[in-house]
Structure 1
Amino acid sequence: MSLKVALQMDPMESLNIAGDSTFAIMLSAQARGHRLYHYRPDDMTWRDDRLYAQAREVTVQRVEGNHYRFGATVRLDLGRDVDVVWMRQDPPFDLNYITATHLLERITGETLVVNDPASVRNAPEKLYVLDFARFMPPTMITRSLDETRAFLAEHGEIVVKPLYGNAGSAVFRIGQDGGNLAALVELFGQMWVESFMVQAFLKDVAKGDKRIVLVDGEVAGAINRIPGQGEIRSNLAAGGTAAKTDLTPDELEICAALGPELRQKGLLFVGIDVIGGKYLTEINVTSPTGIVAMDAFNGTDTGAMIWDAVERRLRERAA
C-alpha cells in the first residue's frame, strides 16, 4: 500500500534529526514507499468548500546538515489528493493551532487525519488528563492566589505550570515557605489569560518521569526521563536524560484504562507521563515525542508500529 502523506509540521531545517519523532515517522513512511509532502499551518486555505495546502514533496535521509530535499511546490486538495494528513507541529496550543483543527476536521470524512483533529482540540494535555483523575496526584486548576496558598499549606510543596505550555517550559517548584508564590501567580496572570495547574510535588520525580507511548491504544514502549542536576523538569528538551525502563503494574493499569478511549477518539499516537510508577500527570496528543530514544533502548521500531496502525485504519475506513 503506497500512500500520499501530507505532514503539517515545523520547518524541516529546525528538526533535530537525532531525536525528532516526526523525522523518525517520515523515515519509516519513506521506507514503505509512501510519498511525503511538507506544509505549515499557514499554508492552508479554505475556499469553495475545499481545504488546500501549498505543499512541497520532501525526501529525507539521516544525514546531519543534509537531512531533507524539497521538490516543487504543489497545491494539494487535502481531502482528495492525499491519503493521510499528520498534525505534527509543536505547540503552543494557541488559536492558530485550534483553527487548524477546525479546518482539518472538515476533511476527516475524506482523508485520515492523525491525530483526529476534533479529539486533539478537545483533549489539551493538562485538561484531558482530568478524565482520569483517579490516577493523578493531588491537582488543582485555578487563577486564585488564595486557593494556591491553601493547596500549598495542605501539601507542603507544589509545582505550578501553565495549562498550555510544552517541553517543560515555565514549570516551577514552590517550597513550604511559599517564597515567591505571590509573584509567580502575578506573573502567570500577566503572561496567560488561562488558569494554571497546581500539583502536589512528587519527590519521586528525582528518580525520573516516565514517558509511555501508546499507538492506537496499545503500549509501544517507554523511557524514563531523569532530571538534570538541580532540576525538577525531566523533559529531554529541558536537559533531562533518557534511561531504559519497564512498566509497573500500576502503569499497565493506567494504559489499560486509557487505551480503548484513545482508540475510540482517533488518538493514534499518544505519549503519557507517569511519575513514581503510578501518578499520571499528562496525556500528550498534539505532538508527542520520545520514540527515537525508546527504540534505541528497547530494540523496537515504533515508526513501523505507527504505520501499521495507520494502514489498518485506512483498511477499516475502506471496508
Structure 2
Amino acid sequence: MTLRVAVQMDPIETINITGDSSFALMLSAQARGHEVWHYDVKSLALDEGRLTAWASPVTVQRVPGDHFQKGEARKIDLAKDVDVILMRQDPPFDLGYITATFLLERLAGQTLVVNDPASVRNAPEKVFVLDYARFMPPTLVARRIEDIRDFHARHPDDLVMKPLHGNGGKAVVRIPADGSNMAALSELFDAAWVEPHMVQPFLPDISEGDKRIVLVDGVFAGAINRRPGEGEFRSNLAVGGYAEATTLTAREEEICAVLAPELKARGLVFVGIDVIGGKWLTEINVTSPTGIVAIDRFNGTDTPAMIWDAIEIRYAAMLG
C-alpha cells in the first residue's frame, strides 16, 4: 500500500533528528514508499468547505545538517491530495491547537488523521488521565489558594504544581512542606494561565525515574525510564533528564491493559503514558508523543514501523 502522507508539524529545519519522533515517522514512511509532505498548521484554510494547506514535498535522511530536501510549496486539498495526515505539531494545547482539531475533524471519512483530532481535543494530557484516578496519586485541579491549602492540609508533605495544559516539564514547580512559596506560586500561575492548575503530592520515587510507555493502537510497543539530571527533580528529556532501558511492573501492565480498549476506540494510535515509581500514572500524552527513538535504541525495536502498520490497517478499514 502506497500512501500520500502530509505531516503537520513544527519547522523541519529546526528539529533535533537524533531523537525527534516525527522525523523517525517520516523516515519510516519514506522507506515504505509513501509520499511525504510537510506543512505548518498556520497554513490551514477552510474555503467554502474545502480544507487546504500550503505544503511542500519532502525527502528526509539521517544526516546532521543535511537532513531534508524540500520542494516548492503549493496549496493542496487535504481531502483529495493526501490519504493520511500526521498531526504532530508540538503543544501548547491552546486555542490554536484546538481550532486545528476542529478543522481537521471535517476530513473524517475522507482522509485519516492520526491521532484522531476530535479525540486529541477531548483528551488533553492532564485531563484525560483523570478518568483513571485509581492509578493516579491524589490530585487537585483548582485555582483558588484556599483549595490548594485545604489539599495541602490533607497531604502535608511537599507538593508539585503544574500547568493543566503544559508540556515537556515546563513550569512544573515544587512547593515545600512548610508551604512557604505556595501563595507566591499560586499568584504567578493565576497570572499566567486562565485555566485551573494541577496539584499533587511530590513523589520521592521520581528520583528513580519517570517511565514513558508507548502504546500503538492500544498495544504496548516499548518503554524507557527517564531520570532527572543533576540538580533537577523533573525527569523530562527536554529539561535535562536522561533515558535508560527498562521493563514494566505488574501494575504498569495493568494500566496498559485498562487503557488499551479506550485508546483504540478513540483513534489514538500513538500514545505515550507517564508512570512514576512503577505505579503512579501521571499523564496520557496524545498531542505529539515522543520517546520512540530512545525506546528503539535500547530495545532494538522498530516502533515507527509498528505505528505505520497500525495506520495502514486503519486506512484500509476507513476505505471499507
TM-score, structure 2 as length reference: 0.99
Structure 1 letter corresponding to 2:177: Q
Question: What is the correspondence of 1:1-319 to structure 2 with a 5 Å cutoff?
Answer: 1-155=1-155, 156-319=157-320
For residues 186-241 of structure 1, the C-alpha deviation after alignment (integer angstroms, 9 at most, x for no partner) is 00000010100001111100000000000000000000000012211100001000
Residues 46-81 of structure 1: per-residue CA shift (max 9 Å, x gap) = 012110011000100001111011012121110111
Letter in 1 for 2:89: Q
Q: Distance in 2 between matches of 1:90 and 1:228?
A: 23
User: Is contact 2:211-2:274 (8 Å) kept?
Assistant: yes
SS in 2 for 1:72: coil
The runs of at least 4 consecutive aligned structure 1 residues that moved more than 4 Å come to none
Question: Can you list the C-alpha shifts for 1:26-64, whole angstroms capped at 9, x where unaligned?
Answer: 000000000110001111110121100110001000011
Alpha-carbon distance, 1:178 to partner: 0.6
The 1-side partners of 2:97 and 2:58 are apart by 23
Give the distance between the partners of 1:48 and 1:190, measured in 2 at CA: 39
Tell me the secondary structure at the aligned position of residue 225 of structure 2.
Answer: strand
Q: Judge conservation of contact 1:273–1:282 (CA < 8 Å) in 2.
A: yes
- The whole-number CA distance in structure 2 between the counterparts of 1:230 and 1:158 is 18
Give 3-state SS (helix, strand or coil) of 1:199's partner: strand
Q: Aligned partners of 1:73, 1:17: CA distance in 2, in Å?
A: 22
Q: 2: distance between equivalents of 1:261 and 1:229?
A: 37
C-alpha distance in 2, partners of 1:184/1:253? Answer: 36
Q: How far is the alpha carbon of 1:183 from its aligned partner? A: 0.3
Q: What stretches of structure 2 of length at least 5 have no aligned partner?
A: none
**Secondary structure of the corresponding residue to residue 296 of structure 1:** helix
Stretches of structure 1 that go unaligned for 5 or more consecutive residues are none
Residues of 2 paired with 1:100 and 1:35: CA distance?
A: 23
3-state SS of 1:221 partner: strand
Q: Retained in 1: the 8 A contact 2:210–2:226? A: yes
Q: Percent identity?
A: 65
Q: Does the Cα contact within 8 Å between 1:153 and 1:176 map onto a contact in 2?
A: no
Does the 8 A contact of 2:46 with 2:52 survive in 1? Answer: yes
Q: CA deviation at 1:316?
A: 1.3
Looking at structure 2, the residues matched to 291 and 165 of structure 1 have their Cα atoms a distance apart, in angstroms, of 21
Per-residue deviation at 1:153?
A: 2.4
Alpha-carbon separation, structure 2, partners of 1:293 and 1:206: 20
Q: Does structure 2 retain, via aligned residues, the 8 Å contact 1:159–1:173?
A: yes
The 2-side partners of 1:34 and 1:255 are apart by 31
Report SS of the residue matched to 2:167: coil
Contact 2:109-2:318 at 8 Å conserved across structures = no
